[in-house]
Chain A
Amino acid sequence: MTRLRLAPVFLGSLARRRLATLFSFFAIVLGVALGMAVQAVHEAALREFDRGLRALAGEADLQVVGPRGGFDEKIYALLAGRPEVAEASPLLELEVRWSESGPEETLQLLGIDIFALARVTPVLLPKPASTADRLASLAEESIFLSRAAQTALGRQPGDDIDLQAGTQRRRFKIAGDIPGAADNRRLAVMDIAAVQAHFGKLGRLSRIDLKLVEGMAPGTARSALQAILPAGVLIEVPAASAEQAGNLSRAYRVNLTMLAAIALLTGGFLVFSAQALSVVRRRTEFAFLRALGLARRTLFTWLLAEGALIGLAGGVVGVILGHALAWGALALLGGDLGAGYFSGLQPSLQFQPLVSAVYVGLGLLAGIAGAWLPAREAATVSPAQALKAGDETTLLGGRGHPLLGCGLLATSLAACAIPPLDGLPLGGYLAVACLLAGSVLLLPLLAAGIARLLPARGPVPARLAAARLGAAGGSPARRGTGACRGRGGWGADQCRASGGDGDYGRLLPRLGRPMAAPAIAGRSLSAGRPDTKQRVSRRSPAGANFERTRR
């Protein structure tokens, strides 16, 4: 309760620096939303794909699958006669296209042997419409569409439909539906012989579903049957197909997740940047609070809480936005975001509390991680030192870490040569990470170099900013501080006269204003450290020499 009472002291400052807080917040929202959207879309697509597979596989214990072009139908005869096999159901699966006036739609067409299908996968049995012939399922020109396919194509039993596979285009009559097909699965079935004949697939099959004899272990049967099959034709347990689908889409999923991770990392860095700047600006305030009796640990905890609040809010909003993005992406692009892996599926979005909680947690983590270093720095600084005017100058020295930055860029180049691991370009991801980190570390040096090249003319504020940029090093997150604040007590901040003459010495030649020089020297002397001999001796471009010494 004691600690909570201090909430206005710390969280109130977030409202004071709205813009920085909003930037950090939106960066985390973006990272979480992208990650959540990719995850939600993919989960929905895989769930739907898996459901479809289970429906298609029915009671099959094993499935025989072949290359994309299918395999010889003689294999069906070979397997159907084996003692391990009780039933065998041949299937020819094609992706057919349909278009009339609107955009092109795709449809999964299954060629079936209706008698075998009834014994192995009864849920896929077609049902003729009341107006259709009872033997329509055996007719060459009849096709059965699932309800989802009828809705998507705007067709109903009795209508004609033109379908195309490859260069073959054929007209069929819709004879009924597939009652057992999932509500949102776009599926069409017709007699296997008709499919082979119409689409140039005579003698070809794409799958055989096998039901084993009672008591036969699938593993044993699989080994025995695999031995008699030609190369390229495989026997799988139905669950493996879902795994294959997951693997198929893994590359796009991993790439998009990495993109989301980079956005989240950026969010964390922005939190770090905003908190680091805030800590510099509030350094005296923290020192004062410490003087009043605020414990070091409490200060650290509250500064982490500031980052955590941004992260938590960003995580919650990101998850909501992620679901909205996922909904939009599923509606517009489908479950594979247009990649074509799950065409024909109409996955529906489902809220997953656990996954959502994980993504909120990731946002929270990014906020806390970003606030960690600034909080630690604020908590460890000596209050006596920080209460001194101009003490923040001690935070702004140095040139960053150019050697480490160059090393990371070199590592980035080397990482490009790492071959993919298990199909994933891990070297590429490492290269991107090193490139980002190296560039950030080199930024202070680069900015200082560019600032020195800028001409020393133009309005005084611009010259001050350029001089500040060129003179001050420090971490990338803090580079803007000096330039923005114009530290050194120029007017508004009367308590912030800089402690050293070094920066002013570096500023003077850039300012190039004869009248400004003595004024700066005077300020430095009045606010400088009392225990050191201070000497300012600079020659302004106008030629005015001055020298003051004080002990």
Chain B
Amino acid sequence: MLEIEGLSRRFNGRCVLHDISLHLHAGEYIAIVGESGVGKSTLLNLIAGLDRPDGGRLALDGAAYAQLDEDALTRLRRDKLGFVFQAFHVLPHLSVRQNVALPLWLQGLHGAAADLPAQQLLEAVGLGERAASWPRELSGGELQRVAIARALVHKPRLLLADEPTGNLDPANGAKVLALLAERVRQVGAIGILVTHSPAAAATADRVLHLTSSGLQA
């Protein structure tokens, strides 16, 4: 369960997020929409433990972020969080399978223990035959599917997707969003999709609007 209570964040004296509260349970897939600059990415960074809030409380499965030091937050991200970014972040010098296995490598798994789940996830996103390919041989849509497989390979409790279709054409974007929603529901993770596209947000179970006055349904 993800608990967000009274979260606030300021930058250079300016309040970007103020009194944000949200409770999400396993299997819930929501979309957060809002205009550019309203603080969507800031909220995502706070939920990911990449940034510290100025006020409020954040907890995942009962573990309060405020009580975790940097190493513990790093372990939390490694074990319980998955990320899908707009820019794919697929490492060009690793094969497709190696890219997907990356979170498992970080957990200390290697050999078949990492390759097998990676291959299974690639099969699930329709890229099983491209496992040995290099990222440069894949299209944008395929790269984002690799990124989705990578985000889910270690069975995260929370999946964060930041504008995952921002670099894709509408047709590929729709496919990727459908795949993302399907896989998140299948693994029973909490899914948070951040986007400024109403069409993308519609693929989630619930849509929340982030404005300067807070998070609204």
Contacts and interface: CB of A to CB of B under 8 A. Distances in A.
A and B together in one complex: yes
Interface of A: 1-2, 5-6, 8-9, 12-13, 15-16, 284-285, 288, 290-296, 382-384, 387-388, 494-495, 526, 529-531
Contacts of B36: 526, 530
A149 B105 CA distance: 67
A12 B102 contact: no
B92 interface: yes
A292 B94 CA distance: 16
A530 B17 CA distance: 13
Contacts of B98: 8
B83 A8 contact: no
A494 B57 CA distance: 35
B103 A296 contact: no
Contacts of B216: none
Interface in B162-205: 167
B74 A288 contact: no
B125 interface: no
Interface stretch (B8-16, B20-28, B60-68): B8-16
B71 A295 contact: yes
B45 interface: yes
A16 B92 contact: yes
A282 B161 CA distance: 21
Q: How many B residues are at the interface, by size bracket?
A: 35 or more
Interface string B74-101: 1101110101011101011110001000
Given A293-B79, A296-B70, A5 B105 contact: yes
Most buried by A among B78, B79, B91: B91
6 contacts: A16-B93, A292-B103, A295-B71, A387-B85, A530-B36, A530-B37
A531 B45 CA distance: 16
Contacts of A383: 50
Given A291-B50, A292-B78, A292-B106, A12 B94 contact: yes
Contacts of A12: 91, 93-94
Most buried by B among A2, A8, A384: A384
Nearest to B14: A531
Nearest to A16: B93
A292 B83 contact: yes
Contacts of B110: 1-2, 5
A9 B71 contact: no
B51 interface: yes
Given A1-B108, A288-B89, A296 B37 contact: no
A293 B83 CA distance: 11
Given A293-B106, A296-B70, A382-B50, A288 B85 contact: yes
A291 B83 contact: yes
B92 A495 contact: no
Nearest to B114: A5
Given A293-B79, A296-B74, A384 B51 contact: yes
Contacts of B86: 495
Contact of B74 (A2, A8, A293): A293
A384 B45 contact: yes
B148 interface: no
A404 B98 CA distance: 46
A382 B77 contact: no
4 interchain residue pairs of minimum CB distance: A530-B37, A293-B78, A12-B93, A2-B108
B87 A8 contact: no
A491 to B, nearest CB: 14
A55 B25 CA distance: 91
Contact of B105 (A6, A288, A382, A388): A6
B48 interface: yes
B106 A294 contact: yes
B93 A15 contact: yes
A8 B93 contact: yes
A285 B91 CA distance: 8
A262 to B, nearest CB: 34
A2 B85 CA distance: 25
Nearest to A11: B93
A292 B50 contact: no
Contacts of A1: 108, 110
A387 B48 CA distance: 13
Contacts of B93: 8-9, 12-13, 15-16
B89 A284 contact: yes
A183 B114 CA distance: 64
A296 B89 CA distance: 19
A15 B94 CA distance: 12
A388 B41 CA distance: 9
Contacts of A295: 71, 74
A453 to B, nearest CB: 37
Contact of B37 (A16, A285, A531): A531
Given A1-B110, A531-B14, A387 B74 contact: no
Contacts of A16: 92-93
Interface in B40-60: 41, 45, 48, 50-51
